Structure 1
């Protein structure tokens, strides 16, 4: 069925019956993405490193399935996909959302261990999950992969070089996989959030305020002036973009790095 419908009516933004995995999704942005996919009538598997957060997620979201896994560990990822194959019998959607912030500050002060962890989760984790998901998507006759990058994946980010490097890597992986997997009817896109309301970015404001000898409010205002719309995005904004990219309405969208940022003009 044409998802557009006659005269543009009846747009299909649902994910009805689709089997989805969202990584790093027991809390934060990933949790909201999982909720949105459930609302779009998908079956959803959630993975996270926190057993406590997963237990709370199971209680709050009836019907969701969970697996404790660190995506930077290939063995744990393999075990998770074995469970998904047993429980779901396959996969139609992969949302590679798990990520860490990485080291903050001048490059000469970056802790090598934090740098390595940043790359292991943000880049290696996507590889480990994608390599296991692709055979399932091919078997299903196609599907969608959405990778969480960042506005830092399209511009420089002083004081956050490791994070930016990893998120540029996500965009490169996305565009390469789109070309590779397109013939198998697998669409691959990335979403690039800007400054997102919530505790994670509040910690960044506090860190910047401390480094630059300013108040928390001054640091927050500094981030706001970098955005054309002069406001931050919400997790729901990001989730809406992910559901759209997974839905039949986006059936011809692939290889794109979609900014969900209010048009960030620069980063400092």
Structure 2
């Protein structure tokens, strides 16, 4: 599909999935803005996008901080941001709930839920005024199924699904769609970390932790970054999609 003439803002832009989103959106014709907390990571992501034939600009922003989000909105006041991809997220601790500190819980919700709220609050008004726009919230299949020792993360992603459905009902009648994309475990540094921590917690090897996790999926494997990015672009090609959640988990439907 063509996204020619549209400007896409992607949070969590310094991470592997943010870069994959940027490459796919740029290839579809969008002008891409990557934002995140770490300038060096953003610069590296933009460089990788350019190496893949795309283009992305960068801006530093902490989505959990209202002042930082307001500053970003002011910086982009002249941009017609009609596509917002809320991709920023933190994985949080890997341990039983009773061993999770309140500060750890709050950090997960600050980024994974509060950050989405703040970004939507800042960038939805121009879309509503124009009567068009798309918001895609990157949730997780873990928000729909048990994931032992990951309660803060799963709870935040379940909350994000509820936010998506309700916000879609609020802004859909005014021409703006809101949907969520729920990847399963995406191969990359974050899952490598989780497998390592799971191995430390349970006494298994890292390879066993990965195999156990992947075996729960119907396809018996992890999801690749480019698959998630292609799914995002495919969602934008479905104009009737609103208030929906797209599961891209390689069939991870079995309980933990």
Secondary structure of residue in 2 paired with 1:44: strand
Describe how 1:77-92 pairs up with structure 2 within 5 A: 77-86=69-78, 88=79, 90-92=80-82
Q: Is the 8 A contact 1:47 1:66 kept in 2?
A: yes
Aligned length in residues: 252
**How far, CA to CA, are the matches of 1:267 and 1:148 in structure 2?**
21
Give the superposed CA RMSD. 1.2
**How far, CA to CA, are the matches of 2:124 and 2:171 in structure 1?**
8
Q: 1:45 aligns with which of 33, 49, 52?
A: 33
Could you give the per-residue CA deviations for residues 130-180 of structure 1, whole angstroms, max 9, x where no partner exists? 011111112332111000100111112221111011000110000001111
Q: Is the 8 A contact 1:196 1:233 kept in 2?
A: yes
Please tell me whether residue 93 in structure 1 is matched to residue 83 in structure 2. yes
| TM superposition shift of 1:15 | 1.2
| TM superposition shift of 1:26 | 1.9
Q: Which runs of 5+ in 1 are unaligned?
A: 1-12
Q: 2:98 aligns with which of 83, 95, 108?
A: 108
Please name the residue that 1:25 is paired with: 13
Could you give the per-residue CA deviations for residues 215-261 of structure 1, whole angstroms, max 9, x where no partner exists? 11111110111001111111111111111222xx3100111111110
TM-score calculated relative to the size of structure 2: 0.95
Q: Is the 8 A contact 1:58 1:64 kept in 2?
A: yes
Could you give the per-residue CA deviations for residues 14-63 of structure 1, whole angstroms, max 9, x where no partner exists? 21111110000122111100111000100111101111112223434454
**How far, CA to CA, are the matches of 2:30 and 2:49 in structure 1?**
13
**How far, CA to CA, are the matches of 1:83 and 1:244 in structure 2?**
29
Q: Is the 8 A contact 2:133 2:177 kept in 1?
A: yes
Please tell me whether residue 161 in structure 1 is matched to residue 168 in structure 2. no
Could you give the per-residue CA deviations for residues 174-197 of structure 1, whole angstroms, max 9, x where no partner exists? 000111111111111101110111
Q: Is the 8 A contact 2:139 2:181 kept in 1?
A: yes
Q: Is the 8 A contact 1:45 1:67 kept in 2?
A: yes
Q: Which runs of 5+ in 2 are unaligned?
A: none
Please name the residue that 2:23 is paired with: 35
Describe how 1:1-268 pairs up with structure 2 within 5 A: 13-62=1-50, 63-86=55-78, 88=79, 90-246=80-236, 249-268=237-256
- Comparing 49-58 with 230-239, greater Cα deviation is found at 49-58
**How far, CA to CA, are the matches of 1:47 and 1:229 in structure 2?**
33
**How far, CA to CA, are the matches of 2:27 and 2:71 in structure 1?**
27
Question: Which structure has the bigger radius of gyration?
Answer: 1
Secondary structure of residue in 2 paired with 1:202: helix
Could you give the per-residue CA deviations for residues 38-92 of structure 1, whole angstroms, max 9, x where no partner exists? 0010011110111111222343445422111110001100111111113x2x211
